[in-house]
Amino acid sequence: MTGNLTLETLETHDGLRARGDPALPAVRLVLPLLVATLTLALLAPAADGRLREAVDAESRTLTLVLEQDPPQLDSTRSTDTVSIRVLGHVKEGLTRYDERNQLIGGVAERWEVREDGATFWLRRDARWSDGAPVTAHDFVYAWRRVQDPATTSEYAFIMYGIENAEAVNTGALPPSELGVRAAGDHILEVGFERPIPFFARLAAFAVFLPVREDFAATRGDRYGSSAADMLYNGPFVISRWSRGARLTLDRNPHYWESDAIWLNRIDFGYITADTRAELNLFRDGKVAMANLDSETMHNALQQRWRIHRFDDGVLFYVGFNHRPDRLTRNRNLRRAFDLTFDPHEFVNRIIATPGNRPGISLFPAWMQGAEGRLREEVPPRPSEVDLERARHYLELAREELGLERFPPIVLLTGDSPTANKQAEYLQSMWGQTLGLEIRVDVQIFRQRLAKMTAGDYDLVLAGWGPDYNDPLTFGDLFASWNLNNRGRYANDELDHWVRRAQNELDPHLRAQAFGEIQRIVAEDVVVIPTYERARLYVMHPRLKGVVRRQISPDPDFNRAWIE
């Protein structure tokens, strides 16, 4: 192992001692520098002097890595998973998911969702971290804030369906016209423009979290940018947030169910996206959990640690550009691509980290249907590979498009090593099976998005993660009006079933509608699902009660304990 290299380099300092004479006068140079170094050492803050341990049952402290500093923690504007994870520990919405991922009451004690609206009855013992009660007004203020165009909340669309939400968000109506009001301090009334049967589950999402108006008003633009510029109503509060360095959560004594919280402190003591550093910290006993990637997985295997896996909820697929001027608008061409792609080979041979599932449907395997798994209620068509038929469709497409031969087809992809590997495989596979020339266009994240939005591609490697726990979070992705439908797929039949799934209250009829959406996406080859991602991680054996889930906050340490 090359590990000795650094040590050798370090040892060259010892070489100095070997030679007596010329080194001696250098002492005069060394001495002042040494003094300077030591002074620096004394000046450096000593607050963190004690080296932290991963789990400490005595002080009930847990130390962890955070992949990035949360950009900001104003829940009405949060979009990234890290922010939503932190918010999920320091704030509580109307509803939340328990340890078995069942929806239960948070601030709301009970609720009722009707066709035209919903009512939430708030518990009277819910408190903010300054001791004041959490009231229905805090939700009204937060939701209006989300829809207020001045807030520029990117997730505002998720509330569309609430009366006047879209009109407020586009500036046609003032925020006070939003269809949500407080009937007293403890009853929240929500009006719908169209039925939202899964509204109670939607309400667990971050932008629905409460914000207290009097507090937010005193903070202005700074709200959510530091520990002192936030107010909490969750199991924990942020006691310290050194930007980019450390984020510490302490138990919130004002939380209404504080007795059920075992941990006193969750210390995100290290902020880095480097998985190798994360694993080294884990190995050194400094953090209780480490995510693994294809590289660090091998190290974890060598150490014979127990490796945990879970479905993180994200579906990856090859997207097509359906704009009129594109070849990929031709259905037979898309079918040719589809009939040559084998998701099993892709998962086992190309991605090759364990645990990923082959993509066979728009709806991932973990998605809930009417009663059980949606997949069991409306089974997807099995994927098939048929070279002969693929070539037949390709020939049909060539004739329909009136081409002599196919021009190069552009495959847009991100710049991660995994994305590159996948793109290279598809390039050579479609080159061999269909004789097509695939040009891989590697772009950084924001440029890939810009090109997708502008329609500057034929094929794209993309993915979609769920926002809320209902199949509609995937189901409406290719509705003609959905802005995230960046391939501009438009199909009246699909739109019809999406509307049915949106408006239908009967869970079995909804599941059927999702079945139809699944069928159309497969038959019309709107996209080719490639895989459902699994996450691998190692965890301290004494740490218990950590919940992993597809819908943030994930991972959830709220009810964790140390054995």
Partner 1 sequence: MWRYTVRRLIQGVITVWFIATATFAAMHMVPGDPLGSERATTESIRQNLEARYGLDKPVFPDQYLIFLGNMARGDFGISFTQQNRSVNDIIREAFPVSAQLGVLAVIFAALGGVLLGALTALNRNRLPDVIIMFLVILGISIPSFVFAALGQLAVVRLNDWTGQSLLPVAGWGTFQHMLLPALVLGLGTMAFLTRLMRSSMLEVVNTDYVRTARAKGVPPLRVFWRHQLRNAVLPVITVLGPAIAAITTGGFVVELVFAIPGLGRTFVEAVQQLDYTLIMGTTVFYGAFLVLMVILVDIIYGWVDPRVRLG
What residues between 131 and 170 interact with partner 1 by CB under 8 A?
149-150, 152-157, 169-170
Total number of residues binding partner 1 (CB under 8 A)?
90
- B/e letters for 109-125, b = 16+ CB within 10 Å, e = fewer, are eebebeeebbebbbbee
Q: Which is nearer to partner 1, 101 or 482 (CB)?
A: 482
Cα atoms in the 13 Å half-sphere on the side-chain side of 509: 10
Query: Which residue carries 């009136």 as its tokens?
Result: 402
Residues 316, 461 contacting (CB under 8 angstroms): yes
Contact between 31 and partner 1 per CB under 8 A: no
Contact between 280 and partner 1 per CB under 8 A: yes
Per CB under 8 A, which of residues 229..268 are in contact with partner 1? 242-246
Contacting residue, 260, 432, 445, 509, with partner 1 by CB under 8 A: 445
Contacting residue, 176, 303, 432, 453, with partner 1 by CB under 8 A: 453
Per CB under 8 A, which of residues 384..403 are in contact with partner 1? none
- Min dist CB 80 to partner 1, Å, is 9
- Contact segment (CB under 8 A) with partner 1 among 35-43, 96-104, 120-128, 343-351 equals 35-43
Which 3-state string (H, E, C) describes 206-222? HHHCCCCHHHHHHHHHH
- Min dist CB 241 to partner 1, Å, is 11
Q: Please give the backbone phi and psi of residue 179, each rounded to the nearest 5 degrees, phi first.
A: -75, 55
Q: Which is nearer to partner 1, 47 or 388 (CB)?
A: 47
d(Cα 52, Cα 59) in Å, to the nearest integer? 12
- Contact segment (CB under 8 A) with partner 1 among 302-310, 316-324, 400-408, 483-491 equals 483-491
Contact between 8 and partner 1 per CB under 8 A: yes
Contacting residue, 79, 258, 303, 428, with partner 1 by CB under 8 A: 79
Q: Please give the backbone phi and psi of residue 428, each rounded to the nearest 5 degrees, phi first.
A: -75, -35
- Min dist CB 277 to partner 1, Å, is 5
What's at 146, amino acid-wise? V
Q: Report the chain's terminal Cα–Cα distance, integer Å.
A: 36
Crossing angle of helices 492-503 and 507-523, in 10° steps, is 160
d(Cα 268, Cα 545) in Å, to the nearest integer? 18
- Min dist CB 112 to partner 1, Å, is 29
Query: Which residue carries 């667990």 as its tokens?
Result: 204
Per CB under 8 A, which of residues 56..75 are in contact with partner 1? 65, 69, 71-72, 74
Contact between 218 and partner 1 per CB under 8 A: no
Contact between 46 and partner 1 per CB under 8 A: yes
Per CB under 8 A, which of residues 504..563 are in contact with partner 1? none
How far, in Å, are 227, 228, 249, 262, 510 from residue 239 at the CA level? 6, 8, 6, 17, 44
Q: Which is nearer to partner 1, 365 or 449 (CB)?
A: 449
Other CB atoms within a 10 A radius of the CB of residue 556 amount to: 21
Contacting residue, 173, 277, 350, 365, with partner 1 by CB under 8 A: 277
Contacting residue, 64, 178, 281, 315, with partner 1 by CB under 8 A: 281
d(Cα 543, Cα 520) in Å, to the nearest integer? 45
Q: Which is nearer to partner 1, 119 or 151 (CB)?
A: 151
How far, in Å, are 291, 326, 366, 518 from residue 466 at the CA level? 20, 29, 11, 16
d(Cα 12, Cα 273) in Å, to the nearest integer? 32
Contact between 205 and partner 1 per CB under 8 A: no
- Contact segment (CB under 8 A) with partner 1 among 39-47, 343-351, 368-376, 499-507 equals 39-47
- Contact segment (CB under 8 A) with partner 1 among 179-187, 386-394, 416-424, 477-485 equals 477-485
Contacting residue, 98, 284, 395, 493, with partner 1 by CB under 8 A: 284
Contact between 286 and partner 1 per CB under 8 A: yes
- Contact segment (CB under 8 A) with partner 1 among 345-353, 361-369, 446-454, 515-523 equals 446-454
Per CB under 8 A, which of residues 324..383 are in contact with partner 1? none
**Residue 255: is it exposed, middle or buried by C-beta count within 10 angstroms (0-12/13-18/19+)?**
buried
How far, in Å, are 101, 501, 525 from residue 511 at the CA level? 20, 8, 21
